[in-house]
Amino acid sequence: MSIIPDYKSAYYNLLSNVKKQGEIIIGDMQLASGRLARLKSKLTISLAKKYGGTYEGHQNSLELYSMMK
């Protein structure tokens, strides 16, 4: 979600184009949780940077997830 400048507008645009009773599936990077989360998350972000992955993108994903509930 860090490579989509206005991700909220993109999400709402997507919603307006989904058939009634249709489904939306979003695949995005997920950071680790638990005991080793800090180490794993730093590794994940460093590997994802060349594809646009950032901590901000992770936060955007969490916000979108909460909007979809």
Say which DSSP state 18 is in. S
Residue whose structure tokens are 């709402």: 12
At 66 the pLDDT is 86
> What is the domain extent for residue 64?
33-69
* Number of domains the chain contains: 1
Domain membership of residue 27 (yes or no) is no
Domain membership of residue 44 (yes or no) is yes
Domain membership of residue 46 (yes or no) is yes
The Cα 44–Cα 62 span in angstroms is: 16
Domain membership of residue 10 (yes or no) is no
Q: Which helix (H) or strand (E) holds 62?
A: helix 55-68
Which three-class secondary structure state does DSSP give residue 4? coil
The Cα 33–Cα 18 span in angstroms is: 32
Please state the separation of Cα 28 from the chain's center in Å.
5
Domain membership of residue 52 (yes or no) is yes
List the chain pLDDT tens, one digit each, 69 residues: 556 778 889 889 988 999 888 888 777 666 667 777 777 777 777 766 665 667 777 777 778 888 877
